[in-house]
């Protein structure tokens, strides 16, 4: 069971890291898949920096947690995806649905759930002097 959860974390993490690399190498194409169009050099830099950072950190922490058998990094991924999910819910309420709005929400929700479950199953870092 734990091996399957770790494999799921690793595959999900790899998916997000590759997505982040896509934003780094092709910000226009990757941004278009998310409904984002850069305006000038500043917009290009924002997509390249922010989206790359979000996906590589989220995916990297999933991979790190799976590989090192540690629950701590999974909390970072869960937090990032939970905040993204909240943003999508706010948009849904404020602006209404768009085509296939539920797909990224489903990916984020599943990522949060799997990361939190695995975080509870895998050990956490203990610090000296901690009870």
Kindly state whether residue 44 falls inside one of the protein's structural domains. yes
Q: How far apart are CA 19 and CA 73, in angstroms?
A: 19
**Above 90 in pLDDT, residue 126?**
no
Give the chain as a DSSP string.
-HHHHHHHHHHHHHHHHHHHHHHHH-HHHHHHHTT----HHHHHHHIIIIIHHHHHHHHHHHHHHHHHT-SHHHHHHHHHHHHHHHHHHHHHHHH---TTTHHHHHHHHHHHHHHHHHHHHS-----TT--
Kindly state whether residue 130 falls inside one of the protein's structural domains. no
The predicted-structure confidence for 33-75, as pLDDT tens digits, reads as follows 999 999 999 999 999 999 999 999 999 999 999 999 999 999 9
Query: Residue 84 belongs to what domain range?
Result: 2-121
Kindly state whether residue 115 falls inside one of the protein's structural domains. yes
Kindly state whether residue 128 falls inside one of the protein's structural domains. no
The pLDDT of residue 129 is 57
Kindly state whether residue 126 falls inside one of the protein's structural domains. no
Query: What domain count does the chain have?
Result: 1
The predicted-structure confidence for 79-123, as pLDDT tens digits, reads as follows 999 999 999 999 999 999 999 999 999 999 999 999 999 999 998
The answer to whether 91 and 76 are in contact (CB under 8 A) is: no
């Amino acid at each position: 069971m734990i091996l399957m959860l770790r494999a799921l974390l690793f595959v999900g993490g790899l998916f997000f890291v590759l997505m982040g690399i896509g934003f780094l190498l092709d910000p226009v194409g990757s941004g278009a898949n998310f409904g984002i169009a850069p305006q000038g050099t500043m917009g290009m830099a924002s997509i390249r920096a922010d989206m790359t950072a979000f996906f590589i950190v989220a995916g990297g922490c999933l991979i790190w947690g799976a590989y090192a058998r540690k629950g701590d990094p999974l909390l970072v991924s869960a937090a990032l995806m939970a905040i993204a999910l909240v943003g999508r819910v706010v948009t849904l309420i404020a602006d209404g649905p768009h085509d296939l709005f539920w797909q990224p929400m489903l990916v984020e929700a599943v990522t949060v759930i799997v990361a939190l479950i695995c975080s509870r199953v895998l050990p956490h870092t203990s610090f000296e002097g901690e009870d």
